[in-house]
Protein backbone atom coordinates (compact mmCIF):
# COMPACT_ATOMS: atom_id res chain seq x y z
CA UNK A 1 0.00 0.00 0.00
CA UNK A 2 2.85 2.41 0.84
CA UNK A 3 4.46 1.76 -2.54
CA UNK A 4 1.16 2.45 -4.29
CA UNK A 5 0.82 5.78 -2.46
CA UNK A 6 4.39 6.76 -3.31
CA UNK A 7 3.84 5.95 -6.98
CA UNK A 8 0.62 7.95 -7.05
CA UNK A 9 2.25 10.89 -5.30
CA UNK A 10 5.12 10.90 -7.76
CA UNK A 11 2.73 11.34 -10.68
CA UNK A 12 3.10 7.87 -12.18
CA UNK A 13 -0.10 6.75 -13.85
CA UNK A 14 -1.24 3.42 -12.47
CA UNK A 15 -3.21 1.47 -15.03
CA UNK A 16 -5.28 -1.61 -14.35
CA UNK A 17 -5.80 -0.98 -10.64
CA UNK A 18 -9.39 -1.09 -9.56
CA UNK A 19 -10.84 1.38 -7.12
CA UNK A 20 -11.68 0.13 -3.64
CA UNK A 21 -15.14 -1.33 -3.33
CA UNK A 22 -17.79 1.09 -2.19
CA UNK A 23 -19.68 0.07 0.91
CA UNK A 24 -23.40 -0.52 0.34
CA UNK A 25 -25.42 2.63 0.93
CA UNK A 26 -22.37 4.87 0.76
CA UNK A 27 -22.79 7.96 -1.39
CA UNK A 28 -20.20 8.87 -4.00
CA UNK A 29 -18.90 12.45 -4.21
CA UNK A 30 -17.40 13.63 -7.49
CA UNK A 31 -15.50 16.87 -8.05
CA UNK A 32 -14.60 17.78 -11.63
CA UNK A 33 -12.39 20.77 -12.36
CA UNK A 34 -13.02 22.37 -15.76
CA UNK A 35 -10.50 24.72 -17.38
CA UNK A 36 -12.02 26.48 -20.37
CA UNK A 37 -9.61 27.87 -22.98
CA UNK A 38 -9.84 31.53 -22.02
CA UNK A 39 -12.56 34.17 -22.09
CA UNK A 40 -13.72 33.33 -25.62
CA UNK A 41 -14.54 29.75 -24.61
CA UNK A 42 -15.90 30.71 -21.19
CA UNK A 43 -19.31 31.92 -22.37
CA UNK A 44 -20.05 28.93 -24.63
CA UNK A 45 -18.51 26.46 -22.21
CA UNK A 46 -20.50 27.81 -19.28
CA UNK A 47 -23.75 27.42 -21.24
CA UNK A 48 -22.85 23.80 -22.00
CA UNK A 49 -21.99 23.16 -18.35
CA UNK A 50 -25.26 24.74 -17.15
CA UNK A 51 -27.27 22.52 -19.49
CA UNK A 52 -25.25 19.46 -18.51
CA UNK A 53 -25.91 20.16 -14.82
CA UNK A 54 -29.65 20.59 -15.46
CA UNK A 55 -29.79 17.32 -17.43
CA UNK A 56 -27.68 15.45 -14.86
CA UNK A 57 -29.88 16.47 -11.93
CA UNK A 58 -32.63 14.37 -13.56
CA UNK A 59 -30.49 11.20 -13.66
CA UNK A 60 -31.39 8.30 -11.40
CA UNK A 61 -29.40 8.47 -8.19
CA UNK A 62 -28.42 12.13 -8.47
CA UNK A 63 -28.53 13.62 -4.97
CA UNK A 64 -26.88 16.93 -5.82
CA UNK A 65 -25.23 18.42 -8.90
CA UNK A 66 -23.76 21.93 -8.63
CA UNK A 67 -21.78 24.13 -11.02
CA UNK A 68 -19.30 26.52 -9.40
CA UNK A 69 -17.20 29.27 -11.00
CA UNK A 70 -13.87 30.43 -9.59
CA UNK A 71 -14.17 34.05 -8.44
CA UNK A 72 -10.94 35.38 -9.93
CA UNK A 73 -10.83 33.32 -13.15
CA UNK A 74 -14.14 33.10 -14.99
CA UNK A 75 -12.92 30.30 -17.25
CA UNK A 76 -12.25 27.95 -14.29
CA UNK A 77 -15.29 26.02 -13.08
CA UNK A 78 -16.05 22.98 -10.99
CA UNK A 79 -18.82 20.42 -11.02
CA UNK A 80 -19.64 19.08 -7.56
CA UNK A 81 -21.78 15.98 -7.63
CA UNK A 82 -23.26 13.60 -5.07
CA UNK A 83 -24.58 10.21 -6.23
CA UNK A 84 -26.52 7.65 -4.20
CA UNK A 85 -24.18 4.89 -5.41
CA UNK A 86 -21.19 4.41 -7.65
CA UNK A 87 -23.43 2.40 -9.99
CA UNK A 88 -25.67 5.47 -10.38
CA UNK A 89 -22.61 7.57 -11.25
CA UNK A 90 -21.42 4.98 -13.78
CA UNK A 91 -24.88 4.92 -15.39
CA UNK A 92 -24.70 8.73 -15.59
CA UNK A 93 -21.28 8.45 -17.28
CA UNK A 94 -22.78 6.12 -19.90
CA UNK A 95 -25.87 8.31 -20.50
CA UNK A 96 -26.35 9.85 -23.94
CA UNK A 97 -26.45 13.41 -22.54
CA UNK A 98 -23.09 12.88 -20.77
CA UNK A 99 -21.42 11.53 -23.91
CA UNK A 100 -22.85 14.41 -25.95
CA UNK A 101 -21.66 16.97 -23.39
CA UNK A 102 -18.12 15.57 -23.39
CA UNK A 103 -17.96 15.75 -27.19
CA UNK A 104 -19.24 19.34 -27.29
CA UNK A 105 -17.06 20.66 -24.44
CA UNK A 106 -13.82 19.10 -25.73
CA UNK A 107 -12.86 21.86 -28.22
CA UNK A 108 -13.49 24.53 -25.56
CA UNK A 109 -11.18 23.03 -22.93
CA UNK A 110 -7.81 24.49 -21.98
CA UNK A 111 -6.85 21.16 -20.38
CA UNK A 112 -8.39 17.77 -19.72
CA UNK A 113 -11.33 17.44 -17.33
CA UNK A 114 -9.96 16.66 -13.87
CA UNK A 115 -12.52 14.32 -12.34
CA UNK A 116 -11.98 12.86 -8.87
CA UNK A 117 -14.18 10.43 -6.96
CA UNK A 118 -14.51 10.62 -3.17
CA UNK A 119 -16.27 8.91 -0.31
CA UNK A 120 -16.80 10.21 3.22
CA UNK A 121 -14.50 8.60 5.76
CA UNK A 122 -16.08 7.13 8.86
- Segment 55-91, tens digit of pLDDT: 999 999 999 999 999 999 999 999 999 999 999 999 9
- Segment 39-54, tens digit of pLDDT: 889 999 999 999 999 9
Q: How many CB atoms lie within 10 A of CB 28?
A: 21
Secondary structure of 71-88 in HEC code, one letter for each residue: CCCCCEEEEEEEECCHHH
| pLDDT (mean) for 92-103 | 98
| Per-residue pLDDT, 69 | 97
Amino acid sequence: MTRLLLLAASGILLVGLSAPAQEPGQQLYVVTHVDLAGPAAAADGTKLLEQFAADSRKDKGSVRFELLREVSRLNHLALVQVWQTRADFEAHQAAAHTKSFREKIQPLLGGPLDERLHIILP
